Structure 1
Amino acid sequence: MADSQENQANNEKSVIRDTDDEARKLAKELIRTARFGALAALEPDTGCPLASRVAVATDLDGTPVILTSTLSGHTSAILANPACSLLVGEPGKGDPLAHPRISLFCKARRVERETEEHARLRRRYLSRNPKAELYVDFGDFSFFALDLQRASLNGGFGKAFELGKDDLLTDAADVQAWSAMESGAVDHMNEDHRDAIKLYAEVLLKAEDANWRLACLDPEGLDLVAGDRIVRLWFKERLADPARLRETLVALALQARNQD
């Protein structure tokens, strides 16, 4: 009996692949490009799992962020018990189970208003979910950061990985400097360099012709949005200093023009 249980445990372990850079990048891309996810939490009164669809954005380091109302069941659930999970990854054509998805195990943390973190998350969230501007400042709405603990990545059939917090997050040591640089750079690019943004999307990423705009920047890349479409452009290397952002954006535009 003991041998049977040990063999079963070994077989389960063998299904999980060793985490490599490709798996880390796929996990981060699924999180960064998610428009929505399924949030699972426990109902305070019943203890039953409650799954709700939520709109998603990310902080500079890749922490998922949601905006919820106190009138919703999932808000009372995560306030009573912050342990929750978030499933992201949109299926495409054919078998939905053949497409990558990731389950994130998190602890929900309510973000206090009138803080630098709230202002940063509000800006980043609205850049991804602009219609939320209609209600984002209502008194019953709050931002929650879903602080990542670990994740289960399914990259498709036979591609299962277990990832830790360090595999999922991007090092953004000087958050204030990055936030200040990002805010100005996003506005500047969208106002004065839409041609470069179009090149990023349609030449470097081979995305379809659309009215692309720059939504967010972080040390590892940038997110472009056109309607309900989101694509991510990765930098060749993580930028340790936000002062390198301008030269990186210029170099990417030059690269795209040379390819065009």
Structure 2
Amino acid sequence: MAQVNNSPEVPDKMAIAAEARKLVRESFKASLATLDSPDGAPYASLITLATDAAGAPLFLISTLARHTRNLVHDPRAAILIDGTGGGSGTGGDPLQGARLTLSGRAEKTNDPAARRRFLARQAQAGFYADFPDFSFWTLRLEGAHFIGGFGRIVDLAPSDLLIPLAGADDVLAAEGGIVAHMNEDHADALALYAQAFGGEATDPASPWTMTGLDPEGCDLLRGTAGLRVPFASRALTSHDARKELIRLVDDARAKLGSTG
């Protein structure tokens, strides 16, 4: 039975979709639900997470794992992303926090960009990523269900969660170089982004790194904490992306100056 929204207020679906996209981009881990082989019983496990440029989940799993054997037998799967933070900011009640269930069919991917983006976010996986039993997978989205507390319950379509990549071949091809350049030469800019747009204090001992860039923004990471920084305009070329990254520095300085 579908969950019913009994709130007198109609949720803002566009705002919730944006919140859901942000939650996926910032998440470091999730629960993977598969159908156990051969009896079809539900089985849940923990996976580490990244996203492709469009925002679809990426994960790295071994053929020795039960969930992988399940997916080979039946690719139907769901991924639960928990953004409740253990009840922080919700009066101690995690059920008032945000969570998102993504559903679809899991499939292997050999896309070099998927590998690069995953390992940029999950550096520890570089130790075993090339073991013969490991492979990268993605979830081909068929739907999603977002719950953000009382009255904020919305079903979402793949088009609500995945950003369009048409016409963005140039910036996608340049992504790896731009990310490496920002991490090597512009750590100060990344710290500004995190401070201004994420409220994160600067800590030279634990710097933020950029893990990915796409037409609508960039993704930062420090430890297991992720931060999504959106662009004001879609970046379809490497030139567009560099303009947006410079604009973000200016905006960050202006924001910090107005609150300092």
Q: Do they fold alike, i.e. is TM over 0.5? A: yes
* CA positional deviation for 1:174: 4.5
Matches within 5 A, 1:71-220: 71-92=64-85, 93=88, 94-112=92-110, 117=111, 119-174=112-167, 176-210=169-203, 211-220=207-216
In 2, distance between residues paired with 1:13 and 1:193? 45
Of 27, 51, 57 in structure 2, the residue corresponding to residue 58 of structure 1 is: 51
Counterpart of 2:103, as a letter, is F
Instruction: Tell me if structure 1 keeps the 8 A contact 2:167–2:236.
Output: no
Greater shift, 17-26 or 144-153, is seen at 17-26
Query: Per-residue displacement from partner, 1:67-108 (whole Å, max 9, x unpaired)?
Result: 000000000111111111000023222111111000001210
Query: Per-residue displacement from partner, 1:155-199 (whole Å, max 9, x unpaired)?
Result: 112100011011010111246433321111100011111111110
* CA positional deviation for 1:222: 1.1
Matching of residue 222 in structure 1 with residue 215 in structure 2: no
Instruction: Tell me if structure 1 keeps the 8 A contact 2:142–2:157.
Output: yes
Query: Per-residue displacement from partner, 1:36-83 (whole Å, max 9, x unpaired)?
Result: 111001011221101000001000001101100000000011111111
Instruction: Tell me if structure 1 keeps the 8 A contact 2:109–2:137.
Output: yes
Counterpart of 2:4, as a letter, is E
Q: TM-score, normalised by structure 2?
A: 0.89
In 2, distance between residues paired with 1:217 and 1:60? 7
2:243 corresponds to which residue? 247
In 2, distance between residues paired with 1:25 and 1:60? 16
Instruction: Tell me if structure 1 keeps the 8 A contact 2:218–2:230.
Output: yes
Greater shift, 179-188 or 55-64, is seen at 179-188
In 1, distance between residues paired with 2:238 and 2:16? 26
2:233 corresponds to which residue? 237
* CA positional deviation for 1:30: 1.1
Instruction: Tell me if structure 2 keeps the 8 A contact 1:19–1:162.
Output: no
In 1, distance between residues paired with 2:158 and 2:122? 26
Aligned residue for 1:12, secondary structure, equals coil
In 2, distance between residues paired with 1:13 and 1:197? 39
In 1, distance between residues paired with 2:115 and 2:217? 20
* Identity between Structure 1 and Structure 2 (%): 36
In 2, distance between residues paired with 1:151 and 1:238? 24
* CA positional deviation for 1:139: 0.6
Over the aligned positions, Cα root-mean-square deviation in angstroms equals 2.0
In 2, distance between residues paired with 1:165 and 1:259? 34
Instruction: Tell me if structure 2 keeps the 8 A contact 1:124–1:215.
Output: yes
Would you say how many aligned residue pairs link Structure 1 and Structure 2? Answer: 247
Change (3 A) 1:175 1:247: closer
* CA positional deviation for 1:20: 2.4
